[in-house]
Structure 1
Amino acid sequence: MLLEPAVHRIVLPNGCVALLAEQPSLPVVAMYAIVAYGSRYEPDAQAGLASLVGDLLDEGTETRAAQDIALAIEATGARLNTFGGYARSGLSLTALRDDFPQLLDVAADLLRHSRFPEERFAQCQARRLAQLRSRADDARTVASDAFDELVYLGHPARRPIVGYESTVSALTADDARSAYARFFAPNNLLVAVVGDLPVAEMERRLLESLGDWPAAPGFSLPAAPPVERQAAPRQRVIPRPDKEQIHILLGHLGIPRAHPDYYALRVMDVILGDSPGMTARIPRLLRDDLGLAYTTYANITATAGVDPGRFVAYVGTSPENQSKSIAAIRSELERIQQEPVAPEELVAAKAYLTGSFVFNFETNAQRALFLIETEVHGLGADYARRYPALIEAITAEDILRAAQTHLNPLALTTIVAGPVAADAA
């Protein structure tokens, strides 16, 4: 079994949810701790704030300087990572069993008492602004950002998680402190611990480090506006005459992770455009058969999350291959909507998905992250055991129906970035 013994789900008196699993194979304990906070919950004027908050979590607390935190991690050979993403922010910790209790106290301190010193905030802000200027020079990144802007009109997902120069430059340490105080609360906290400790001890340690953290009264999350799949084509051309290659993205809104068609579409992805070794239909056609590109893929499930992800087909190619590449991708989208996939394609895709699933559990950190994902998306405590059967149950008819339902080649967003004229779409 992938997670043995069973996963224990507990709720602390302050509302913190904890998922605990003993794994005694190595003397290592891993933890993920996340809050529902990210760019999804930012106002437009503060785009990029959650990413900065995540980066700054380990830059000092009320009782620990940043250097003290770093020394505590380095002295034990542990790994601590803090992050701020689209819908969740928090930290991960991996430590030897004997060091875990003291480092859990450090991690809890970051979750409860980070203070965002002015000097550290200014340094992080300057690094982020430099990163944003660098991103603006990357045509592929610019194309991806433009794609999101058109696919997610009016929705927070249209913005890059790292924000914009104009918004990040206006942020302050007080903004970070306010967001931290608003969203970092025990009744908005999900923790997963996996490793070489008895579950009873894990629970006791969590109670000691987090149990006296008062719940935030009346806590609720801001609602994100609804987003719908476009009914007509959208397009944008981004001339970059200084580049040699063009970057083409075609697609539209996808599905949330909890959608019942996820598994049929996951198998479809492997067949259509997202298999190992470039053996899927779109890479094989564009790279091997037509010689139009080396880098190309397509998928709809890769970004499925709490909100609908995006269906996207990408190709990087020479400017003269633009029309041929777009036509080839469209032809494969139409084909998978019109013809059942071949039996050998279906068998190979299922074998890859079920065979590679075990690689989600190579480390305790991966196991802890997996538990986070199952809880966030409501997949159930026995999901790891059910997954192979969920994949094996998919038929060619399921894929055909899902492709007809969730792909629309007649209403694609098309982005072209590179050495092309503004009217070249």
Structure 2
Amino acid sequence: MTPFLIEPQIMSYDGGTKLHLFKRELNNVFVVRLKWPSAHLYDGQITHGCAYIALKMLLEGTKSLSFDGFNRYLEGSGIELNLTADGFSFTAMKSSLEKLLYLLSELVNYSTPDENRFQKLLKNEVDQLQSLLDDGDSLAYLEFVKKVYKGTPYAHRVGGDVETLKKLKFQEVSQYIKEVLNWSNLSIYASGNFCETTFRSTLEKNRIQEGFTSNYKQNIQEYDYLKQNSSFCVVKDKKKSSLVMGHLGVKRHSKDYIKLRVLDYILGYGSGFVNRLCKRLREELGLCYSIYGDISSTSSWYPGCLNIQMGTRPENVLNAVNEIEKVILDLKINKVNQKELDDVKSYLKGAMYFSIEGNSSIARYLLEMDIYSLENDFLLKQQSEIQSITLDDIFDVANQYLDPQNMVRVVVGSSEPEGFVKLT
């Protein structure tokens, strides 16, 4: 069996729960990802941050497990839990399968939202966000996203803004848990070493549908995005200026998505100092310690964005912006050389082999196969497409999707660069 072929067992339970199982016996570990609808990106009537806070509230305790008891259960069972934007990821040993499924049933069946714990959680989230906004890099990126996606739900942080979190009501979160975070809307993706029969039968036994609403209907909308050529700054007492610049990108379904991934490694995503942004801005000009840039990694069911991030001295901001735009423009004027392309192809071939070694990666692939309707051999097709990409292909996508004359630029630093509009 080719390592790039992922053939999960897929089943749907009465009431809506979808289960995707991919058993592999590389070791005694397995990973389970839970995903509910990403309502925080779809529905304008839901307060931004509500969905994320609701997920966190599931972890605040159930009928049988207090907050402390919940965490002791995780530790005692050897289960690692991580929060994602629309669910949870669990890592556990094969012997802990039934313990994990019991925990899942507690979360979904017996969540008991408590208003006092909600208020404490909300205060903690606001405090953490305000601390985040004191970091120049984080603030620059958040302001950049607001400008690029202006007028759409994607302009908002998944976890909410300070203003929206302060408006969030306990009743709204409780209602969201009841209407959305139930079995009807849950998809489960599991990869690793587990007993498939035990997984299916235990899940079926633990699911309680009574009292839950029918499937949540996502209100997916299309938006008109502005083409912008604008520069903004936030003046803060920082020794370093944090710069983010870019523009709207493509959806994950774009026919050129794989070609853009290859272009990214030439532009600014590659490791080490081989990509063009790092070579020019760091190695040749000494304008930064590190720089990053790509257009494909944020692609989803809505357009991602080209985003280039770096830190530099305040007096170097305008020079850095100019040099970044020159690097991009050169990709639109001159074809990359064959060695650059061959090096990226070789790197991505090796990286793909490494990516299928971990159960976390496979669980993520199962999720992507589901939400993007990818076929079981999509990795094999990607590998083939990458190896077939030509210099002309890279030149064509650079000209079609990179637009240095229409970019949003945001800088956070101690001074106001010439031509930048100050944000308050």
Common topology (TM > 0.5): yes
Tell me the distance in 2 between the aligned counterparts of 1:137 and 1:318: 18
Q: Check conservation: 1:80, 1:91, Cα contact below 8 A.
A: yes
The one-letter code of the counterpart of 2:287 is L
Does structure 1 residue 147 correspond to structure 2 residue 154?
A: no
Shift of 1:282: 0.9
The one-letter code of the counterpart of 2:38 is Y
Secondary structure, counterpart of 1:277 in structure 2: coil
Question: What's the counterpart of residue 164 of structure 1?
Answer: 161
Which ranges in structure 1 are unaligned for 5 or more consecutive residues? none
Shift of 1:361: 2.9
Between stretches 271-280 and 69-78, larger displacement belongs to 69-78
Q: Runs (4+) of structure 1 moved beyond 6 Å? A: none
Task: Please give the root-mean-square deviation of Cα atoms over the aligned residues, in Å.
Answer: 2.2
Question: What's the counterpart of residue 78 of structure 1?
Answer: 79
Q: Check conservation: 2:43, 2:219, Cα contact below 8 A.
A: no
The one-letter code of the counterpart of 1:180 is I
Which ranges in structure 2 are unaligned for 5 or more consecutive residues? none
Alignment of 1:70-109 (within 5 A): 70-83=71-84, 85=85, 89-109=86-106
Secondary structure, counterpart of 2:290 in structure 1: strand
Q: Check conservation: 1:80, 1:94, Cα contact below 8 A.
A: yes
Give 1:231's match in structure 2, choosing from 227, 245, 249.
227
Shift of 1:144: 0.9
Question: What's the counterpart of residue 134 of structure 1?
Answer: 131
Q: Check conservation: 1:33, 1:191, Cα contact below 8 A.
A: yes
The one-letter code of the counterpart of 2:278 is P
Alignment of 1:54-69 (within 5 A): 54-69=55-70
Tell me the distance in 2 between the aligned counterparts of 1:397 and 1:315: 29
Question: What's the counterpart of residue 32 of structure 2?
Answer: 31
Query: TM-score, normalised to structure 1's length?
Result: 0.92
Tell me the distance in 1 between the aligned counterparts of 2:145 and 2:235: 18
Alignment of 1:376-395 (within 5 A): 376-395=371-390
Between stretches 45-54 and 259-268, larger displacement belongs to 45-54
Secondary structure, counterpart of 1:143 in structure 2: helix
- Cα deviation, 1:362-406, whole Å, max 9, x if unaligned, reads 332332122112222222222233331121122221111111111
Q: Check conservation: 2:40, 2:46, Cα contact below 8 A.
A: no
| Cα distance change on mapping 1:134 and 1:218 into 2, 3 Å | closer
Percent of aligned positions that are identical: 25
Secondary structure, counterpart of 1:362 in structure 2: coil
Question: What's the counterpart of residue 191 of structure 1?
Answer: 188
Tell me the distance in 2 between the aligned counterparts of 1:42 and 1:362: 37
Between stretches 103-112 and 266-275, larger displacement belongs to 103-112
Question: What's the counterpart of residue 358 of structure 2?
Answer: 363
| Cα distance change on mapping 1:24 and 1:346 into 2, 3 Å | same
Shift of 1:115: 2.4
Tell me the distance in 1 between the aligned counterparts of 2:187 and 2:171: 25
The one-letter code of the counterpart of 2:233 is V
Question: What's the counterpart of residue 321 of structure 1?
Answer: 316
Q: Check conservation: 1:340, 1:396, Cα contact below 8 A.
A: yes
Tell me the distance in 1 between the aligned counterparts of 2:79 and 2:228: 51
Q: Check conservation: 1:3, 1:21, Cα contact below 8 A.
A: no
Between stretches 387-396 and 204-213, larger displacement belongs to 204-213
Between stretches 166-175 and 412-421, larger displacement belongs to 166-175
Shift of 1:42: 5.2
Q: Check conservation: 1:12, 1:211, Cα contact below 8 A.
A: no
Tell me the distance in 2 between the aligned counterparts of 1:154 and 1:332: 30
The one-letter code of the counterpart of 2:175 is S
Secondary structure, counterpart of 2:311 in structure 1: strand
